[in-house]
Amino acid sequence: MNNRILVQILRRLKIFLGSRTPPAMVKIGQKADPFRILVGCLLSSRTRDEVTESACARLFRRVKSPRTLLKLSTRQLEREIYPVAFYRNKARVLKTLCSDLGDRFNGEVPETLEDLLTLKGVGRKTANLTLILAFDGMGICVDTHVHRITNRWGYVETATPDQTEAALRGKLPARYWRSFNEWLVGFGQTCCKPMSPLCSECPVEKYCPRIGVDRHR
């Protein structure tokens, strides 16, 4: 698939998504500081949007900074973020992350992708999303939706999300980088689902070669 077709697809997706509720992290990012955005990104991994939103609301009533988070015990932190996926592991990651922020960045969230990636527990998806939402930076956040859908379209041919990010950095026009994740997450949650996508209702069906799709509706 070339960029001329991709632009057609993205135009249609924008109309299709219209006034749908944006993903949880976009909503959180509209009114939060970099620390809350970074923590929210970590909590959102493999967790439903409504669970992420309520866990963030609960946690941020008590926690305003890395320093205040470190005052909570791991058990207290687990209770605040429950029932996000892997809440026990995420509570430990948050403690380590906040120590790291205090030790190396004076309690502030760093503003570059390179520095974000040095933080303990922060992978490429979280680093890119934080860069985009907190600092209006140039990143491409590749999660499971972006990886799956761009491969179904044949826009990339990759085996992992990291490979997809590298491929997108090489060919996706820069003006789409920051919005790409938001659009594809919305599309992936409602239409191009992981199992049995709704191809009969898909606004971009005529452009899609459905690579790797065995079953659809």
- Residues near ligand SF4 (CB under 6 A) are 152, 191-192, 197-199, 202, 204-205, 208, 210, 213, 216
Q: How many Å apart are CA 88 and CA 72, to the nearest integer? A: 14
Question: 101 or 156, CB closer to ligand SF4?
Answer: 156
Residue 194: both structure tokens together: 């992981």
Question: 47 or 150, CB closer to ligand SF4?
Answer: 150
Nearest approach in angstroms of CB 192 to ligand SF4 is: 3
Instruction: Tell me the CB-side half-sphere exposure of residue 149, using CA atoms within 13 A.
Output: 30
Question: 90 or 147, CB closer to ligand SF4?
Answer: 147
Nearest approach in angstroms of CB 197 to ligand SF4 is: 4
Residues 6+ apart with CB under 8 A from 112: 131, 137
Dihedral sign of CA atoms 191, 196, 200, 203 in order: positive
Question: 40 or 188, CB closer to ligand SF4?
Answer: 188
Nearest approach in angstroms of CB 115 to ligand SF4 is: 36
The two counts, helices (H) then strands (E), for the chain are 12, 0
Nearest approach in angstroms of CB 155 to ligand SF4 is: 11
- Asked if 98 contacts 85 with a C-beta cutoff of 8 angstroms, the reply is no
Question: 166 or 213, CB closer to ligand SF4?
Answer: 213
Residues 6+ apart with CB under 8 A from 144: 161, 188, 194
Judged on CB neighbours under 10 Å (0-12, 13-18, 19+), 18 is exposed
Nearest approach in angstroms of CB 84 to ligand SF4 is: 28
